[in-house]
Amino acid sequence: MLRELRIRNLAVVEDAVIEFSSGLNVLTGSTGAGKSIILTAVELISGGRAKKSLIRSGAGSLVIEGLFSLPVECDVRTALGMNEDDSDLSIKREVAEDGKSRIWINGVVSTNSTARETTGSLIELHGQHRQQELLDPSTHIHYLDDMGKYLNLLEECRARIGLYSEAISRLETLRIEEEENRKKEDFLRFQLKELQLLDLEKGLDKHLEQSIKRRENIHRYVSGLHGAIEDLSEEDGSVLERLNRTETLLNSIAYLDSSCEEMAESISEARITLQEVIRSIEGAMGKIDESSDDLESLQNRLAAVQRACRKYGLDCDGLIERESELRETLRSLDEGSDALIEAEREFSRIERELIPELEKLSNKRISNAAVIDRRITSELHALGMEGALFKTCIEKGGIRGKGGGLELNEDGWDRVEFRIRTNVGEKIHPLTDVASGGELSRITLVLKKMLAEETGIGTLIFDEIDSGLGADLGNVVAEKMEALSARYQIICITHLPQVVAMASQHIKVEKRISEGRTITSASVLTGDKRIAEMMRMLGGEGKLREELAVELLEKGKSARSSVG
């Protein structure tokens, strides 16, 4: 439970320490006294958004600290690594004037998300703005699921829906890419044909440049080759002839000097190498005779290759790679993209596995809705809405969307909406169409009670949950709050004296002017001060109001004693 709340420099609260007891704690005070600032403080230590505008004028920072007493069996202890003997939990939040915020849990620097997780299992906070959430049908599915006993199934579905969303996103991306390729297929085929006509090979441009240079100097080239052949092998006294003669001569004297034999072998190797050179020259001469390409055709082919290089911004080798890519892209278009086929197969698999889980989840929701509809209807009857009928409407999905997939959100394919009939003989309508402020308050009270029972949260905080209720329902709501307080710590801002009378602790919030500054303070009321505050709530002073206040307090005391 929340044992103590320390507030410093929050709006009009300069310095306040508010102690809470178990059971029902009520906060009262005149309109504008600053009662809702207490809720703001709780929201801040719960990781809520911090705004520097909340800092009291003239102060450098605001500081909120909440002290909690934890039950023996509490998941928070394990999550925070607390010792078994530790029963106290401290959450402290500081907001500086530059807007920066820090948070500590048990003296250790922490994060807002950790604070939210921690307080989420300790406190259920219901401000006036949260009551309006009930008028938004998109929130109804969360109320329904929070009161169900199928969390594991819900988490499993959410995980599968995440995979499904990723699969359909990938599939749509690949389909878009294929469609884009389809649109430019003719252009891709034109490009491929253009590159194929070039009959590309690695280094073709360099080869063509050399061929052109040879053609431009063909007579000098041919003459050089013929001269080389003649010098090496054809003329009398050619290099090859001289090497043969020298090799023979050295071999003839090798018996006189063994080194001559080694020299002869070296000359033999040189002669063999020279013969290979001669064959290469003869091959080059043969190619000249066999080549039918004239200079103009070579120049035209090189010009075509160079134009393609400029057009695609690639060199010759890059053009070859581009040709290969075009072949692959067009092959994929002809045969179907392997990636697209695999994505479609994976999408279908995930969808097949997801649908049965969604069916299970829908059935769980339908069963849960039937239970809570009966419970809420019964609770509303006890709260003075005798003709009320509460109904949870669930529309199962499965409708195909534009992308060919299921229409889903992170919670599945069900659409949930709370509906109500407030009086016998009327039709059931959406909650937002028929619920008055008082009716909405009672529905909210019932829902919060049921949520607390399911989640095991120990502290319920209400901001004017009795808003819109007439005095005739005061006793009914007060009894309901008192009954709740037997199982939970209740902290309630109220304007109903009947609720105040049931409280085990009464805290008054009041505003005063001191040295030209507005100051809000909170104090626990007992005895005559509590009677005086209840008289104010009943409409003022006078003997009758005093007697009524005392009577209400005695009745509340008696009710608490009978429960205790």
Q: What is the pLDDT of residues 529-543, one digit of tens each?
A: 999 998 988 887 788
β-pair type (429-430, 108-109): unpaired
Domains of the chain, residue spans: 1-122+457-525, 185-335
Q: Which residues contact 438 (CB under 8 A, 6 or more apart)?
A: 467, 468, 469, 470, 473
Which one, of 298, 292, 412, lies nearest residue 354 by Cα? 412
* pLDDT value of position 419: 93
On whether the pTM is more than 0.85, the answer is: no
Query: Quick count: other Cβ atoms within 10 Å of Cβ 310?
Result: 8
Q: Are 412 and 355 in contact (CB under 8 A)?
A: no
Q: Which residues contact 228 (CB under 8 A, 6 or more apart)?
A: 281
CA distance 321 to 328: 11
Structure tokens at 34: 């600053």
- Each residue of 146-183: pLDDT tens digit? 888 899 999 999 999 999 989 988 888 888 888 887 78
CA distance 73 to 434: 42
CA distance 78 to 145: 25
- Each residue of 282-338: pLDDT tens digit? 777 777 754 545 777 878 888 888 888 888 888 888 888 988 988 888 877 766 667
CATH topology of domain 1-122+457-525: Rossmann fold (3.40.50)
Q: Lowest mean pLDDT: which of 94-98, 194-198, 451-455, 474-478?
A: 451-455
CA distance 328 to 67: 68
Label residue 492 left, alpha or beta by phi (over 0 means left) and psi (-120 to 50 means alpha): beta
Structure tokens at 205: 């441009």
Dmax (CA) for the chain in angstroms is: 154
- Each residue of 186-207: pLDDT tens digit? 888 888 898 888 888 887 878 7
* pLDDT value of position 472: 66
Chain centre to alpha carbon of residue 288: 71
Helix-, strand-, coil-residue percentages of the chain, each rounded to 5: 60, 20, 25
The overall average pLDDT reported for the chain is 83
CA distance 35 to 42: 12
CA distance 449 to 443: 10
* pLDDT value of position 290: 47
Which one, of 367, 359, 209, lies nearest residue 295 by Cα? 209
Quickly count helices (H) and strands (E) in the chain. 20, 15
- Each residue of 339-361: pLDDT tens digit? 888 888 999 999 999 999 999 99
pLDDT band at 507 (very low <50, low <70, confident <90, very high): very high
- At 160, is the secondary structure helix, strand, or coil? helix
- At 109, is the secondary structure helix, strand, or coil? strand
The pLDDT > 70 percentage for the chain reads 91
> Strands of 389-395's sheet, edge to edge?
389-395, 415-421, 429-430
Look at residue 438 and tell me whether its pLDDT is greater than 80.
Answer: no
CA distance 346 to 341: 9
Is the sign of the CA dihedral 444, 449, 454, 459 positive or negative? positive
